[in-house]
Amino acid sequence: MMTDIADSPQATLLLAATPGDLARAGALLRAGQLVAFPTETVYGLGADATSDRAVAAIYAAKERPRFNPLIAHYGEVADALRHGLFSTTAARLARAFWPGPLTLVVPRAPDCPVCDLASAGLDSVAMRVPSHPVARALLREVGRPVAAPSANRSGRVSPTTAAHVLGDLDGRIAAVVDGGDTQVGVESTIVSCLGDRPVLLRPGGVPREALERELGCSIDTVPVAGAASGTSPHDEETPVAPGQLASHYAPRAQVRLDAASVMPGEAALLFGDPLPGTANAITSLNLSPAGDLAQAAARLFSAMRALDLPGVTAIAVAPIPDTGLGEAINDRLRRAAAPRPADSFTA
Ligand code: TXA
Ligand code: MG
């Protein structure tokens, strides 16, 4: 029988990426329990996507204030293709980028088993086939779609190690599968394929340029949430992609973007050459001394956690180019820097 995780804390099992432990993790998921697992982007907090009750437990564990739609993760491309209605464009993107860090939003197929709570009552469904071998092995073990937001408490920085997951969710979830550091480091790119033209809902692990090259056309972007104003372009009750809302991925310290120098009392998040004043920083980390955006994306969330120390007034962030994976990195940094209205909702 399932217990209410909010009421009765449970010890969280730390599982390894071995066949025996993956079988155990798969059995827990099939039984409606929460299991965090590595993907190539960030760790996901998994639940059986066909069970409203299992998916509801995700919201309780994350303390996520509202029912945002979640991504259904598949071990097999063919299963995802059966559960959605794929336009020519959607099918082309799936063929080119799955398995991989791309999420496609498509109309639900008539017999799509993803429960209403996982898709927040929408008649569309967000799907992704991760490339991480541990994720794929686990998803094949489960044999059903697995709903999985990032495995952090709501509003916190996304986890890229099993230790990050335990730091946020120990005692609130049944298990976490340790697959080491994630490689991409930022969440999947989300493309909506509901209308005539594909729309980029969230920049992520597949750079926009790669999508546009595949399709031979430019991809529209939903206007990014006003990070400065803290407003959303969407009605908050019917979000297109709530992950776009401002004030998300937030460390406790203030975040100061495009810093030209580091001020006393600040921590420094560098990219390429150190900024003037770095020697006076409380602490500093360089996302990529050589200026490599893939390396910077992989280190981003770990670095934000590591710099978010007591006594740090702000994290000064060096300018980062907005091309390739830089678009996703800058998107996450703008959210981390955005004002944090009490009512903002976060994933
Ligand atoms: O890399 C990732 O995508 C990670 C790993 C764990 O797979 N997952 C992740 O999930 O970032 P989450 O829940 O943090 O973000 C899901 C995003 C939200 O912004 C949500 O609004 C959007 O997907 N989404 C889900 N279903 C949707 C739908 N039917 N229409 C539009 N947006 C949707
Ligand atoms: Mg998230």
Q: Which residues neighbour 3 within 8 Å (Cβ) at sequence distance 6 or greater?
A: 10
Whether the model pTM is above 0.85: yes
Instruction: Give the pLDDT mean for 156-173.
Output: 96
Instruction: Give the pLDDT mean for 195-223.
Output: 94
Query: Residue 226 pLDDT more than 60?
Result: no
243 CA to middle of ligand 2, Å? 7
- DSSP characters for 76-144? -HHHHHHHB---HHHHHHHHHH-SSSEEEEEEBPTT----TTTTTT-SEEEEE----HHHHHHHHHH-S
Instruction: Tell me the CA distances in angstroms from 35 to 22, 134, 166, 203, one per residue in order.
Output: 11, 13, 11, 26
Query: Residue 10 pLDDT more than 90?
Result: no
Residue among 42, 55, 71 to mutate when testing ligand 1 (max atoms within 8 A of CB) = 71
Instruction: Give the pLDDT mean for 176-196.
Output: 96
Instruction: Please indicate whether residue 102 or residue 228 has the higher confidence score (pLDDT).
Output: 102
Question: How confident is the model at residue 9, as a pLDDT?
Answer: 59
237 CA to middle of ligand 2, Å? 18
What tens digit of pLDDT does each residue of 310-326 get? Answer: 999 999 999 999 999 99
- For the CA of 124, the nearest ligand: 1
What tens digit of pLDDT does each residue of 60-89 get? Answer: 999 887 778 999 999 999 999 999 999 999
- How far apart CA 109 and CA 136 sit, in angstroms, is 23
What tens digit of pLDDT does each residue of 94-141 get? Answer: 999 999 999 999 999 999 999 999 998 899 999 999 999 999 999 999
Residue among 40, 41, 70, 244 to mutate when testing ligand 1 (max atoms within 8 A of CB) = 70
Which residues contact ligand 1 via a Cβ below 6 A? 39, 41-42, 44, 68-71, 103, 105, 119, 122, 124-126, 128, 148-150, 187-188, 190, 201-202, 239-243, 347
- For the CA of 103, the nearest ligand: 1
Instruction: Give the pLDDT mean for 330-336.
Output: 93
**Which of the four pLDDT bands, split at 50, 70 and 90, describes residue 346?**
very low
Question: How confident is the model at residue 46, as a pLDDT?
Answer: 98
- DSSP characters for 22-74? HHHHHHHHHTT--EEEE-SSSEEEEEETT-HHHHHHHHHHHT-SS----EEE-
- For the CA of 41, the nearest ligand: 1
Question: How confident is the model at residue 301, as a pLDDT?
Answer: 92
The gap from C-alpha 76 to its chain's centroid, in whole angstroms, comes to 20
- DSSP characters for 134-184? HHHHHHHHH-S-EE--BSS-TTSPPPSSHHHHHHHHTTTSSEEEE--S-SS
Question: How confident is the model at residue 230, as a pLDDT?
Answer: 31
Instruction: Give the pLDDT mean for 182-210.
Output: 96
Q: Is 256 helix (H, G, I), strand (E, B) or coil?
A: strand
Query: Residue 225 pLDDT more than 60?
Result: no
Instruction: Give the pLDDT mean for 156-165.
Output: 95
Query: Residue 142 pLDDT more than 70?
Result: yes
Instruction: Give the pLDDT mean for 292-308.
Output: 95
**Which of the four pLDDT bands, split at 50, 70 and 90, describes residue 241?**
low
Taking ligand 2, which is a single-atom ion, which protein residues have CB atoms under 5 Å away?
150, 347
Rg (the chain; Cα; Å) = 19
Our CA angle for 286, 329, 206, nearest 5°, is 125
Query: Residue 234 pLDDT more than 90?
Result: no
Mean pLDDT of the chain: 89
Is the separation of the CB atoms in 191 and 127 below 8 Å? no
Instruction: Give the pLDDT mean for 316-340.
Output: 93
Nearest residue by C-alpha to atom 12 in ligand 1: 149
273 CA to middle of ligand 2, Å? 30
Question: How confident is the model at residue 223, as a pLDDT?
Answer: 62
**Which of the four pLDDT bands, split at 50, 70 and 90, describes residue 196?**
confident
Q: What's the one-letter identity of residue 132?
A: H
Ligand 1: which atom is nearest the Cα of residue 125? 29
Question: How confident is the model at residue 341, as a pLDDT?
Answer: 58
Instruction: Give the pLDDT mean for 163-172.
Output: 97
